[in-house]
Amino acid sequence: MTNLNRRTFLGGLAASAIVLPLAACGNDTDPGTAGSPAATGGGGGDKAGPIVLGFSQVGAESGWRAANTKSIQETLTAENGFDLKFSDAQQKQENQIQAIRSYISQGVDVIAFSPVVETGWDAVLQEAKEAKIPVILTDRAVDSQDDSLYVSFIGSDFVLEGDTAGKWAVEQYKGQGLKIVELQGTTGAAPAIDRKEGFEKAIAGSDLTIIDSQTGNFTRTEGKTVMEGFLQKHGDQIGMVFAHNDDMGLGAIEAIEAAGKKPGVDIKIITIDAVKDGMQALADGKINYIVECNPLLGPDLADIAKKVLAGESVQKRIVVKDEAFDQEQAKAALPDRKY
DSSP letter string over 167-205?
A: HHHHHHHTTS--EEEEEE-STT-HHHHHHHHHHHHHHTT
Per domain, the residue ranges of the chain are 31-156+295-321, 158-293+329-336
61 in Cβ contact with 219 (< 8 Å): yes
Give me the chain's average pLDDT, please.
88
Three-state secondary-structure class, residue 142: coil
Measured distance CA(45)–CA(59) in Å, rounded: 34
pTM attached to this predicted model: 0.82
pLDDT at 154 over 70: yes
Measured distance CA(59)–CA(18) in Å, rounded: 27
How would you label 262-288 residue by residue, b for 16+ Cβ within 10 Å and e otherwise?
ebbeebbbbbbbbbeebbbbbbeebbb
In 3D space, the residue among 38, 39, 41 whose CA is nearest the CA of residue 108 turns out to be 41
The correct answer on CATH 3.40.50.2300 for the domain covering 158-293+329-336 is: yes
Give the architecture-level CATH label for domain 31-156+295-321: 3-Layer(aba) Sandwich (3.40)
Q: Any bridge partners for residue 293, and if so which?
A: none
pLDDT at 241 over 70: yes
Measured distance CA(254)–CA(331) in Å, rounded: 21
**CA distance from start to end of the chain:** 34
* pLDDT number for residue 338: 84
